[in-house]
Amino acid sequence: MIGDLFGFVLLDPMINLLVILSTVLFGSFGLGLIAFTILIRLVTFPLTVRQLHQTRAMQAIQPRIQEINKKYSDPKRRQEEMMKVYRESGVNPLGCLGPMLLQFPILIALYLSVRRVLPESPEALAGLHDHLYSWSFIQQGIPISETFLGMDLRTPNLLMVVLVALTTWAQTKTTVTVTTDERARAQQQMMAYMMPLMFAFFALSFPSGVSLYWVVNSIVGIGFNIATYGFAPLKIAPIVKVRVPEPAAAVAGKQPRPTAAPRTRAEGKASNFDAELRTANGPGRSKRQNRRRRS
């Protein structure tokens, strides 16, 4: 049942969309994959923007998180204080993982789609028609050329493996670090090199079509990161303004000024009467006080 649901919701629509895009783009499956990748990034753009907001917000509250880690030794109390800071700042610690978690089912479905859209045998070609919609435009688009820039998109390619590693590394370098702890920062630096190697290892067994998707996806991600955070080595300023939660200290310093209570009509008349009785003989003296002093 899960397999049927996966095929109906994700696999079959992806296969048919790839066939449509490839047919429109001159029968090139490589161009269809690139267009598919850009389309997926456009559809998930609101989720990506939310992730960027959460990443910047997490970066802004890191000094407060570090203070809590130093102040409280009890793990339970520390966790409570951290959750309080998250609530006050409107930050969800898991908000940065949305697009990353979304990539895995897409990669699995894309792997299966490439294997079916570019069949390696007549039996596999017959199996492809079981996943195609009955539209004549889609039916006439089969078969699709399996080569792109001299590569066979059905098999792994060493050049694509290298590009997967390089673009993944570049994307991690343009991602803002959200911690000020030295140990956590060291772990992030290690992951910045481990992730490219891990995905390059996967690319050794993936079809080049899947690797092409990952390379284009990483390039688009690099563009989003630079537009949001800028890139200091090249002195590129951020283009997109991201909401950043204001620190608690700054909020506390902006207390509203106390306003004077409105005076009643009687108090206003008394104040005006006292002002009329002021003289130049000294501050705070009235004519009545001066007459008493002379007598």
Contact present, 102 and 109 (Cβ < 8 Å): no
Does position 168 have pLDDT exceeding 90, yes or no? Answer: yes
pTM (predicted TM-score): 0.71
Q: Please state which of the ranges 1-10, 95-104, 132-141, 257-266 shows the lowest mean pLDDT.
A: 257-266
Q: In whole angstroms, how far apart are CA 143 and each of 24, 150, 172, 197?
A: 14, 18, 38, 34
Does position 179 have pLDDT exceeding 70, yes or no? Answer: no
What pLDDT digit, counting tens, does each position of 188-223 carry? Answer: 778 778 989 999 999 999 999 999 999 999 999 898
Does position 178 have pLDDT exceeding 70, yes or no? Answer: no
Most confident of 117-121, 151-155, 284-288: 151-155
Q: 264, exposed or middle or buried, with CB in 10 Å at 0-12, 13-18, 19+?
A: exposed
Does position 16 have pLDDT exceeding 70, yes or no? Answer: yes
Does position 164 have pLDDT exceeding 90, yes or no? Answer: yes
What pLDDT digit, counting tens, does each position of 123-147 carry? Answer: 787 788 888 898 888 888 888 888 8
CA 160 to CA 214: how far, in whole Å? 10
- The residue extents of the domains of the chain are 2-247
Q: Please state which of the ranges 16-30, 46-60, 101-115, 205-219 shows the lowest mean pLDDT.
A: 46-60
Most confident of 9-23, 177-191, 255-269: 9-23
**Hey, which bits of the chain come out as E strands?**
147-148, 151-152
Characterize the bridge pairing of strands 151-152 and 147-148.
Answer: antiparallel
**DSSP code at position 147:** E
Higher pLDDT, 168 or 143: 168
Most confident of 3-12, 77-86, 194-203, 245-254: 194-203
**The residue count for the chain:** 295
CA 272 to CA 209: how far, in whole Å? 87
